[in-house]
Structure 1
Amino acid sequence: MHLGRTARITLRIGAGLGFAVIYVPLLLVLVNSLNPDRSASWPPPGLTLHWWSVAAHNSGARAALWVSVKAGLGATAIALVLGTLIAFAVARHRFFGRDTVSFVVVLPIALPGIVTGIALNSAFGTVLAPLGVGLGLFTVIVGHATFCIVVVFNNVVARLRRTASSYEEAAMDLGATTFRAFADVTFPLVRSALLAGGLLAFALSFDEIVVTTFTAGPGIETLPIWIFGNMTRPQQAPVVNVVAAVLVLLSVVPIYVAQRLSADTATSSRV
């Protein structure tokens, strides 16, 4: 498709404005985390790492970070197992309602977070409360897993659809058992897709706040909830900026690695 000079310039300006809307606020958070002024005046009178030191010794932020890590790891583990199993069922087998299963798996990430949160809160209260299980870290992990499964499923099913099942059939024709064929043939082919899906799932869980609000019990505070709760406290504003900057950096790394893995997977499948 050939574009004229005016169209190319218009597209570049539009893309530049779009990127500016997305990334300039993130850069401002990073700059404010280095601002020596507690009130975050602009432009900053200088740069300092003092607030980074204060944030590192903040017990509330460290506890919230650890809760987020545990919730992210738990949700990612569940998503890897269930998302992979569903992906293999959909991609490798034909059965009645296969398209419906795919739709149901993908639906949670398309629903508004507040709808998912209210539904999970009601379900936990109805099912778990009579059993003596209240809201806590377990319910947060289950809540996050509902949408983390989607990214694992999408990555794995896309990789399986680009990979012929003849590889596994050939291995079994040579005497390999089903599990042996999976370990020696199938798993190496989908390994990068699994890793990319796991990294994206962890990043989604780590940043989640709406579903967490409805599924976390008393005393359970993830890092996004800690940031939201301390935003209105003037004395905590510099520390919040630091924690927000750290949260951005921690989210960018897995997403970048997952994107590279997905690109490498797509390239290798075309070779």
Structure 2
Amino acid sequence: MMLSKSARIWLRLAMVAGLGVIYVPLLVVLIGSFNSSTTFSWPPSGLTGHWWSVTLHNTGVRSALWTSVKAGLAATAVALLLGTMLAFAVQRYRFFGRGTVSLLVVLPIALPGIVTGIALNNAFRTVLDPLGIKLGLFTVIVGHATFCIVVVFNNTQARLRRLGASMEEASADLGADTFQTFRYVTFPLMRSALLAGGLLAFALSFDEIIVTTFTAGAGVETLPIWIFNNLFRPGQAPVVNVVAAALIVLSIVPIYLAQRLSGDDAKLI
């Protein structure tokens, strides 16, 4: 499609404006992490790296970081297992209610986080409390897995759709059993899609706050929850800025790697 010079200029301006709305606030947070002031003042009264050192030695931050990592890794593992199995079932087999199952798997990521959080909180208190299982890290992992499964499911199903079943059928014709076919044919072709889905799932879990608020209970504090709890405490503004800046960087890495993996695979298929 050919566009006039003025149309191209307006499109570029719109693109710059859209990117500015997204990334200028993030840039403000990054600069604020070096602000010498103990408040969220702008512009910075001075620049210093002191608060990064303070944050590094903050036991609350380190504990919250480790909790987020544990929850993210566990939720990603659950999502990889269940999301992959669901994708294979929906994409490789025909059965009654197949479309409904696909819709139900994707639905959690479309629901508002607060709705999911309230529903999970009620379910945990109704089902798990009588069994002696209280809200804690386990319930956080289950809550995160509900939407992490969707990311893995979508990635895996998209790859299976592009691959088709011809290679697996050829492997079976050559005498390989189901597990040999999966090990030597299916898994190598699916490996990068699973890795990309796992990275995105971990990034989603690591940054989640709304569902975590309703499923964590007392004594479990992830990094986003720590930020929220310390946001308005006196003298904590610089540390909050540093943690937020670190979260931005940590979130970019898995998303960038997932995009590169997905892009490279698209060129090979």
TM-score interval, smaller chain: over 0.9
* Partner residue in 1 for 2:148: 148
Return the alpha-carbon distance in structure 2 between the equivalents of residues 262 and 98 of structure 1. 26
Return the alpha-carbon distance in structure 2 between the equivalents of residues 100 and 216 of structure 1. 30
**Alignment of structure 1 residues 46-195 onto 2, 5 Å:** 46-195=46-195
Deviation at 1:233, TM superposition (A): 1.0
* Partner residue in 1 for 2:267: 267
Where 1:220 maps in the other structure, the secondary structure is coil
Structure 1, residues 35-89: CA drift from partner, whole Å, max 9, x if none? 1122243322432110000000111111000000000001000000000000001
Amino acid paired to 2:38 = R
Return the alpha-carbon distance in structure 2 between the equivalents of residues 113 and 179 of structure 1. 38
Name whichever of 125-134 and 34-43 sits farther off. 34-43
Given the alignment of the two structures, is residue 234 of structure 1 paired with residue 260 of structure 2, yes or no?
A: no
* Partner residue in 2 for 1:222: 222
Return the alpha-carbon distance in structure 1 between the equivalents of residues 188 and 48 of structure 2. 47
Name whichever of 118-127 and 260-269 sits farther off. 260-269
Structure 1, residues 184-211: CA drift from partner, whole Å, max 9, x if none? 0000111110000000000000000000
Where 1:234 maps in the other structure, the secondary structure is coil
Tell me the number of residue pairs that the alignment of Structure 1 and Structure 2 aligns: 269
Structure 1, residues 100-126: CA drift from partner, whole Å, max 9, x if none? 111100000000000000000011011
* Partner residue in 2 for 1:42: 42
Q: Please identify runs of 4+ aligned residues in structure 1 that moved more than 3 A.
A: none
* Partner residue in 1 for 2:8: 8
**Alignment of structure 1 residues 201-216 onto 2, 5 Å:** 201-216=201-216
Return the alpha-carbon distance in structure 2 between the equivalents of residues 224 and 164 of structure 1. 40
Return the alpha-carbon distance in structure 1 between the equivalents of residues 220 and 132 of structure 2. 17
Amino acid paired to 1:110 = A
Amino acid paired to 1:18 = G
Q: Which runs of 5+ in 1 are unaligned?
A: none
Deviation at 1:165, TM superposition (A): 0.6
Amino acid paired to 2:192 = S
Structure 1, residues 236-260: CA drift from partner, whole Å, max 9, x if none? 1000000000011101100010011
Return the alpha-carbon distance in structure 2 between the equivalents of residues 164 and 211 of structure 1. 36
Return the alpha-carbon distance in structure 2 between the equivalents of residues 67 and 224 of structure 1. 11
* Partner residue in 1 for 2:254: 254
Return the alpha-carbon distance in structure 1 between the equivalents of residues 142 and 40 of structure 2. 38
Where 1:128 maps in the other structure, the secondary structure is helix
Return the alpha-carbon distance in structure 1 between the equivalents of residues 267 and 99 of structure 2. 27
Q: Which runs of 5+ in 2 are unaligned?
A: none
Return the alpha-carbon distance in structure 1 between the equivalents of residues 7 and 102 of structure 2. 39
* Partner residue in 2 for 1:29: 29
Return the alpha-carbon distance in structure 1 between the equivalents of residues 7 and 89 of structure 2. 45
Return the alpha-carbon distance in structure 1 between the equivalents of residues 8 and 212 of structure 2. 43
Return the alpha-carbon distance in structure 2 between the equivalents of residues 95 and 41 of structure 1. 60
